[in-house]
Structure 1
């Protein structure tokens, strides 16, 4: 798993590539926690083909950290399989998910 970081105005964009699973969850959690502490964060999942329950926990924990800090958190560009996991688990009602990075940044 790789996380590429960029910014758009005041919003940090973390583009994850690879799997978000048990093997990568700890590293992803650490990096996303640091990024969300700095301000609004959009996690681009366009290059993520698989998210396990451990990966979902990372995203949920990051969303809760953002809420506690009073900042925005969203995900975008979910692939069909990842979007299905989000919808089945109900995460689409907990975490803001946008079809494109531009829409997520505009909402942040």
Structure 2
């Protein structure tokens, strides 16, 4: 199973990287969150987890444990992909001057 999962994981990573190349950095607004890499990696993680459970039930605990390890690694990559897409879609707000809001104060009413 690992001989099948390794090339599939490599192709998923490669297609995720290639999808990001076509985006321009000249956008002034934050782009929408791209959920495709997260969904693909999540599906791969779920498939590996199902295979692990099948191995565990079919009295192959070592193969099931290896599959659980692969599923845990895939889950880390899925969470990292989600976090990267979330940060890209929700950039941090620029700080205001001296921590003050952008409203003008009225000196007459501030006294």
**TM-score bin (small chain):** under 0.3
More helix by share: 2
- Normalising by structure 2, we get a TM-score of 0.26
